[in-house]
Structure formats: C-alpha cells, structure tokens
Amino acid sequence: MVLKVIGSSSKGNGYALIAENEILILECGCPFKEIKKAIDWQILKIKGCLVSHGHQDHLKYVREYLKAGIPVYTNEETKQAVGAITGAQFYSVSEFKVIHIGGFKVIPFCVPHNGTPNFGYLIEHNEMGRLLFATDYEYIPYNFQKQHIQHFLIEANYQEQFIDKYLPNYEHKLLGHASLETCIGAIKANQSPDLRSVIMCHLGAGSSSGKYFINEMQKVTGRNVNVACAVPELVVEVNKEPF
Ligand SMILES: [Zn+2]
Ligand SMILES: [Zn+2]
C-alpha cells in the first residue's frame, strides 16, 4: 500500500491510498483529473472518497468526483451543503459507525474545527493496518493508543512561535487548525510500538520549513519511524509490516 499526495494545503487537499487492487481517495479539494493522473488512470480501482468537512480546500471538486461515479462519504452537514445530485452515490455517515468501502474499514469521528462539522477517519486495510487521518483540527478529542495505529496522516499547520495572535487574519487563518506542537502532542498521546509512519499535512504559511517539522517530530517518534511532510507527488509506503 502507498499513500500518494496530490495536494495538501489551503489551496487544495487530496490523497490516494493505493492498495494492490483498490484505491481510497481522501478529500476532493483537487480537480479529479489530477487524481486520475496520480493513480495512473486506474479509475476503476477507486472504491470511494472520504471528505472531512465542507471547506473548499477539501470539497471544491466533489461534483466532478460524483459525476465520475465515485461514491463519496462525509458528514450530514457537509452533504446538505452540497445539495442533491441526481444519480450520485453521495452518502452521509455517522460518528463511530463503521463503514466498509471495498477492503477498507472506516470509522469516522468528530474533530473540533472552529465550529465547522469535521470528521477524522480511522482507516483499516489488510495491507496497511490502521491509519488515522485528521486534518483542520484544534485537538484530537479521543485516544487511539489501544488501537495500535501504524500510520498517521495528520495536520501540522504552523509553529506557535511564529504566530501573532493580534493580527487581523489570525482567527480566519489559524483558529481551528493544529500547530506543530499540538500535532506532536497528539502523536505522543496515541503512540504505540506499532507506529511506522507519521505524515504531517496541511502545512501553512506560519511555519519555517518541513525539515524543522520533521526533526521536531522525530524527537518524539525516534528514527525508526518514517516521518514526512505531505507535499504534492510525495509517495509514502504505508504497509502493515516493515518487510
Ligand atoms: Zn483546510
Ligand atoms: Zn477547514
């Protein structure tokens, strides 16, 4: 299994979990043609697409995906905001209700995002083990340590030291987003011996460099864990076992 990044910022988010015979897309904030290209045009392998919330950088191109026949799953509020589309496989899912999308077992859970209904997803697959996806969050309200998560795809948006809370755009840009410090706290709280990779996503302008993020995170995870920052075209192996 590999995770491929198509976009990961306020300009547009899109990720593909590519298993041997099936693909799960996360978010539809990137044009569908970019997804097609990223998965080498293996469109028939796409089993579905999960959307976290209704902001444009995660949802903008949802109609393209639905029109292409991709089943899309999100929370009720986000689905309502898009409205009815005839013939589309557009599903609202509930917190903690297990859904099966091909061989992917998915559990949605709520994460606070400055009042916007927002889902994180715990995703499980035979080839991958468990991956926790959380973006645009203030904090992770649950503990998943007992779930022995192998992989995290998790927002680290900015560094607290670079933030001027008195700037007029502070609320708009950063409230509801996780700092690097918050992200590190979430990894610490949910770390287990099975941890294999941490991919930090949705990096914003209030940060020095991906390299700094990676170094800081690796102080917590140790060198045996693969730590990366999500940038377009990044491909990360996300298998259950190291061999
Ligand atoms: Zn966002
Ligand atoms: Zn958002």
Tokens of 225: 């864990």
Which ligand is nearest to the Cα of residue 137, counting in written order? 2
On whether residue 242 sits in a domain, the answer given is: no
Closest CA to 183 of 155, 215, 148: 155
On whether residue 213 sits in a domain, the answer given is: yes
On whether residue 89 sits in a domain, the answer given is: yes
**Does residue 106 contact residue 132 with C-beta atoms inside 8 Å?**
no
What is the 193 CA–ligand 1 centroid distance (Å)? 30
What is the 57 CA–ligand 1 centroid distance (Å)? 5
On whether residue 31 sits in a domain, the answer given is: yes
CA 83, 28, 11, 168: dihedral to nearest 10 degrees? 40
The count of domains in the chain is 1
Tokens of 18: 């590519």
Mean pLDDT by 10 residues, the chain (243 residues): 97 97 98 98 98 98 97 98 94 98 98 97 98 97 97 94 69 81 97 97 79 96 96 96 78
What is the 95 CA–ligand 1 centroid distance (Å)? 20
Which residues contact residue 101 at a Cβ distance below 8 angstroms, ignoring those fewer than 6 apart? Answer: 24, 47, 48, 50, 71, 73
**Which domain covers residue 144, as residue numbers?**
2-237
Question: Whole-angstrom Cα distance, residue 149 to residue 228?
Answer: 16
What is the 9 CA–ligand 1 centroid distance (Å)? 7
Tokens of 92: 């609202």
State the CATH number of the domain containing residue 33: 3.60.15.10
What is the 135 CA–ligand 2 centroid distance (Å)? 8
**Does residue 19 contact residue 1 with C-beta atoms inside 8 Å?**
yes
On whether residue 243 sits in a domain, the answer given is: no
Whether the model clears a pTM of 0.85, i.e. scores above it, the answer is: yes
Which ligand is nearest to the Cα of residue 58, counting in written order? 1
